[in-house]
Amino acid sequence: QNERLLATSYWNAINNAPTLKNNCSARDLRCILDTFRENIAALDLLGFPTEHWQFPLFNMLLGRLNTSIRTAFEIEHSKIKFPTYQNLTEFLNNHCRALESVQIASSTSYSQNSQQPTNSHPNRKQHNYNQYQKYPTQSYVSNIQDQNKQNSQILDSLIINLVDLTHIQHRTLKLLQHIIQTIQMLTVTETSTLQYSISVDYAIRIHITIFRNALCL
């Protein structure tokens, strides 16, 4: 291979490295550092005295930095008369690691925030709604209590009739006892549904009709 062409290619890569923008990322800074490091190492392998290029390399790399990074470097090395290329690369490596840490932290924070619900009130409202659905309203309980009272009155009336009607046939007595047991089993509690209450009322009316027909036997 033509070593002169190789050396020219390595030098042009350093000389043509882009200037960092003000909002550069850690990746952009790392790219410039790698460009300088790799091509200087290649020139060193070709026998060039790169260890004596400290001042020109320092100025070439410093000129590729944006204003904020360059200002930070000048502040930190303000007491050094002639900062070296090594001083600059060490500073930039530390700065690059700091940028990477900040970007990782920002990305993690954004990911966690995006997973959180934007508004917890709808969930709380839905929970309260379900809670209201679980317990009956006051008017509903009142209706159930009235129905229970009516069923109790019907039961008392049937018991009185059972005592007074001692002359009815044996099979009618058994039928009446079955009716009373059925009514007792179908007594509606305060936590029953309104639909079940209607079903009980309907069943009671059927049994009363059967009882009246039995009395006519």
Write out pLDDT tens, residues 145-165. 666 666 666 555 655 555 454
Local confidence band at 204 (pLDDT 50, 70, 90 cut-offs): low
* DSSP states along 181-207: HHHHHTPPPTTS-HHHHHHHHHHHHHH
**What separation in angstroms does the CA of 21 have from each of 28, 45, 67?**
9, 32, 9
| pLDDT score of 213 | 55
The phi-psi region of residue 48 (left if phi > 0; otherwise alpha if psi is between -120 and 50; otherwise beta) is beta
% of the chain at pLDDT higher than 90: 42
Q: How far apart are CA 4 and CA 49, in angstroms?
A: 15
To the nearest 10°, report the CA torsion of 53, 59, 65, 71: 120
Q: Which two tokens stand for residue 74?
A: 């000048």
Please name which of 35, 33, 29, 42 lies closest in space to residue 14, comparing C-alpha atoms: 35
Q: Say whether pLDDT at 187 is over 60.
A: no
Q: Say whether pLDDT at 115 is over 50.
A: yes
50-105 tens-digit pLDDT: 999 999 999 999 999 999 999 999 999 999 999 999 999 999 999 999 988 887 76
Local confidence band at 107 (pLDDT 50, 70, 90 cut-offs): low
146 phi, psi to nearest 5 deg: -60, -40
Local confidence band at 19 (pLDDT 50, 70, 90 cut-offs): very high
* CB distance 197 to 143 below 8 Å: yes
% of the chain at pLDDT higher than 70: 47
Local confidence band at 132 (pLDDT 50, 70, 90 cut-offs): very low
Average pLDDT on 188-206 reads 50
Q: Which two tokens stand for residue 184?
A: 């007792």
